[in-house]
Amino acid sequence: MTKNVVVLALLILVATTWSNRVVLMLAITGLIGGPPALNEKSEEPQHVKWFDNYFTLEYIDEKTIAIGEPRYWQVNYNYLILGDERAILFDSGPGLKDIKPVIASLTDLPVTVVASHLHYDHVGNHDRFASIAMLDVPSTRARATENGFKISSMQHLGFLENIKNPVLNVSEWWQPNTHIDLGGRTLKILNAPGHTPDSLILWDEQSDLLFAGDYIYDGLLYAMLPGSDLDDYEQTAARLLSIINDTTRLLTAHRESTSGAPILARDDLLDLHQALQKINRGDLKGGGWFSKTYKINQRLSLASDQY
């Protein structure tokens, strides 16, 4: 109790000094001291299988598998993307449970893990993998040292749930706007700033799938974290809309109101883009006093402290 009071006081100090209001907000919501207890097992659609007591498996197509963590309070989804010669694990979850046995049950291919971004709930199992890829942008390059890749605490935010910040041995640097070839399957690497400056989105044109990370999902989008930016958010939306198709499925990293893997459509991205244009012009009013929350559509809203 006393310790929490001291930590809270320190966080308030940090938040006030660095203008990171969200740090203060999250501290007040009481997330200090470790992740909340696991959710009860959820009802999932028939085609979703429980791997064990924690992870779920769902085939999006025969070479794309959603690995869900519905019992973790943020309900993370990671994606195993299979080619003929190698595979990518896109996000590795908060690391509360070892994801490696899940991967081993699904493929014999060599697997490279990569994160949509560096928040603690997306890199938690990274250090269990020998092959780690990183998006090559200035904010990530700056963190590479002789002794490995150290995520800054404001990029990682694991202190909010007492989750350790790993040192990673990066084996591949991926340039934005290049392609990664998995053998018979090629994905485009996109830098998608908005949620964070170094966010990565993968575009699989052949399968018509966009791996969207935390840029968009069903629920409250966080555009009020360190490095979040509404202009970036809007530009990324415009760019993604110019790339994807009407039929593209957006595979996202969290869910709130749905069951099964959180899949959105181009229309959701369109709604997000229109809302961002209005927010940035001052034509859409947000509610709340700490960070403003803007309604995007029935299922999506966005929080920002840029006002």
Q: Which is nearer to Zn ion, 121 or 268 (CB)?
A: 121
CB of 293 to Zn ion, least distance (A): 17
Cα 8 from Cα 21, distance rounded (Å): 13
Task: Tell me: does residue 185 bind Zn ion (CB under 5 A).
Answer: no
How many residues bind Zn ion (CB under 5 A)? The answer is 2
Of the ranges 76-84, 93-101, 179-187, 213-221, which one interacts with Zn ion (CB under 5 A)?
213-221
Identify which of residues 56 and 199 has a Cβ nearer to Zn ion in the complex. Answer: 199
214 binds Zn ion (CB under 5 A): yes
Site for Zn ion in 114-133 (CB under 5 A): 119
Evaluated on CA atoms 224, 226, 228, 229, the torsion sign reads: positive
Of the pair 119, 156, the CB lying nearest Zn ion is at 119
H helix intervals, 19-137: 21-28, 100-106
Binding of Zn ion at residue 161 (CB under 5 A)?
A: no
Question: Judged by CB under 5 A, which stretch of 135-143, 168-176, 180-188, 208-216 contacts Zn ion?
Answer: 208-216
What's the min distance (Å) between Cβ of 104 and Zn ion? 27
Contact 108, 132 (CB under 8 A): no
Does 97 sit near Zn ion (CB under 5 A)?
Answer: no
| Burial of residue 261, with CB atoms counted within 10 A of its CB: 0-12 exposed, 13-18 middle, 19 or more buried | buried
Among 81-89, 209-217, 228-236, 279-287, which window interacts with Zn ion (CB under 5 A)? 209-217
Shortest distance in whole angstroms from residue 98 CB to Zn ion:
21
Q: How far is the CB of 201 from Zn ion (least distance, A)?
A: 13
Is residue 140 helix, strand or coil? helix
For residue 145, with 0-12 CB atoms within 10 Å meaning exposed, 13-18 middle and 19 or more buried, which class applies?
exposed
Within 10 Å of residue 272's Cβ, how many Cβ atoms?
Answer: 25
CB of 211 to Zn ion, least distance (A): 14
* Side-by-side strand order, sheet with 144-145: 144-145, 148-150, 167-168
Q: Which DSSP state fits 168?
A: E
Stretch that binds Zn ion, among 112-120, 137-145, 199-207, 240-248 (CB under 5 A): 112-120
Closest separation in Å from C-beta 117 to Zn ion? 6
- Nearest CB to Zn ion, comparing residues 153 and 245: 153
Using the Cα atoms of residue 94, residue 97, residue 100 and residue 103 in order, give the sign of their dihedral.
negative
Helical packing angle, 230-243 and 266-281, nearest 10°? 150
Q: Which is nearer to Zn ion, 83 or 196 (CB)?
A: 196
In the numeric block, the tokens 């999250």 are attached to 26
Question: Closer CB to Zn ion, residue 71 or residue 119?
Answer: 119
Binding positions for Zn ion, rule: CB under 5 A:
119, 214
